[in-house]
Amino acid sequence: MADAAGIIISTNGENTMIKGSLPSFQQRLLRWYRLKTTRKNLPWRGTKDPYAIWISEMMLQQTQVNTVIPYYHRFLKKFPTVKRLAQAPDTAVLDAWSGLGYYSRARNLHAMAREVTAHYGGKIPDTVEGLRQLPGIGRYSAGAIASIAYDRPAAVVDGNVIRVFCRYFGITRNPRETSVIKQLWDLADRHVPQRNAGDYNQALMDLGSTLCTPRQPDCPHCPIADDCIARIKGWQEKIPPSKKPAGRKTIRYLCGILEKNGSVLVARRPMENLLPGLWEFPGGVLLENTEKQASLRQLLQEKLGIRVTGLTPAGTQRQVLSHRDLEIEAFRCTAKNPTVRLNGYLQTRWVEIDQLQKLPLTAGMKKLALKLF
């Protein structure tokens, strides 16, 4: 059948697809996006600087926009160019990222800045192929940076685009299936315009985050609602099928508070572990079938060669991670032997208590320090 706009709708099995009038689809999205009352006012949209756009895209991975904005401003103020970022020490980059989560992004960001400075003359590549050669740049990030910064006709597929495409094209299968993801990327590649690709991609993402929301989508105000299969069929709440929430795991973490002469001992986490390269009060995960104080004694002896006594509860702090929670419990204690032997940490340091907040501590340890001192 065909609707009033001349769009041909055909049904094949469980999926309903739309054929024809692709320029109209693009034009309606772009027209909607360019309305001042429609487009989100985001700081990275006021620039064409590939470096600033790259920083925003890396920060926006798995993180909400409102959380990213203050980090984005602070990061660019501290590292205004690729060269400045490349020259910065690891600890400075982790400190600027501290609290944003997914710390592998910060490591990739730093590695990419060094590679761009060393091998690309400080210029971020302007093609999808070139961008994907850099650490931490996947298909989505490459498409976003190439289209937004350089107006390359490169497609993007993120959670918002998936929802828009699944509803518009009537894709009822689970978008987490490999074959469906391939189908969505094929659709994205076919639809991206040769010009204004950056605006078009941002329009798709804005549509998914503002109108085509997971629950109660605002179809009356949607610029492409007239030929959206989900709206025509009344499937808006069914497409895409909801993902069952994964159960969150709670990790019980113990740490020792060792003080001397107005300073406290902190240790730097290994780079291959959770929260890599950040600092914490030394300790570890509660050992199975072991009482808390005994666990902490064993952890400190194994990881630092320190034997401690007089463990007394000092405070607790909860830290929410991406798929798990940390329940941190601190104990004040005294070291019998002052010499530290590293076995699991990168380094240790005695830090003056009033300087703790300047150190790139994990977010949980930062809050714990405010409670304890």
pLDDT value, residue 276: 82
Asked if residues 50 and 149 have their Cβ atoms less than 8 Å apart, the reply is yes
Name which residue leads in pLDDT, 209 or 275.
209
Is residue 54 predicted with pLDDT exceeding 60? yes
Is residue 244 predicted with pLDDT exceeding 80? no
Is residue 7 predicted with pLDDT exceeding 60? no
Is residue 2 predicted with pLDDT exceeding 70? no
Supply the mean pLDDT for the chain.
Answer: 88
Distance, CA of 137 to CA of 145 (rounded, Å): 10
Which one-letter DSSP state was computed for residue 172? -
Is residue 3 predicted with pLDDT exceeding 60? no
Half-sphere exposure of 288 (CA within 13 A, CB side): 0
The fold for domain 8-233 equals Endonuclease III; domain 1 (1.10.340)
Comparing CA positions, the residue from 211, 208, 196, 164 lying closest to residue 31 is 196
Query: Which residues are CB-neighbours of 276 under 8 A, at least 6 positions away?
Result: 103, 104, 107, 269, 270
Is residue 188 predicted with pLDDT exceeding 50? yes
Catalytic positions, please? 57
pLDDT value, residue 315: 94
CA distances from 6 to 3, 9, 26, 187, 366 (A): 5, 9, 16, 20, 60
Q: How confident is the model at residue 10 (pLDDT cuts 50, 70, 90)?
A: very low
> In the predicted model, what is the mean pLDDT of residues 318-341?
87
Domain ranges of the chain: 8-233, 249-372
Angle at CA of residue 39, ends 125 and 127, nearest 5°: 10
Is residue 8 predicted with pLDDT exceeding 70? no
Name which residue leads in pLDDT, 156 or 19.
156
Residue spans of beta strands (DSSP E) within 286-365: 308-320, 324-335, 347-352
The fold for domain 249-372 equals Nucleoside Triphosphate Pyrophosphohydrolase (3.90.79)
pTM of the model: 0.74
> In the predicted model, what is the mean pLDDT of residues 251-263?
94
pLDDT value, residue 16: 40
**Bond prior to 240 in cis (omega within 30° of 0):** yes
Taking only the tens place, the pLDDT of each residue in 264-323 is 999 999 877 778 888 999 999 999 888 999 999 999 999 999 999 999 999 999 988 777
pLDDT value, residue 246: 65
Q: How confident is the model at residue 219 (pLDDT cuts 50, 70, 90)?
A: very high
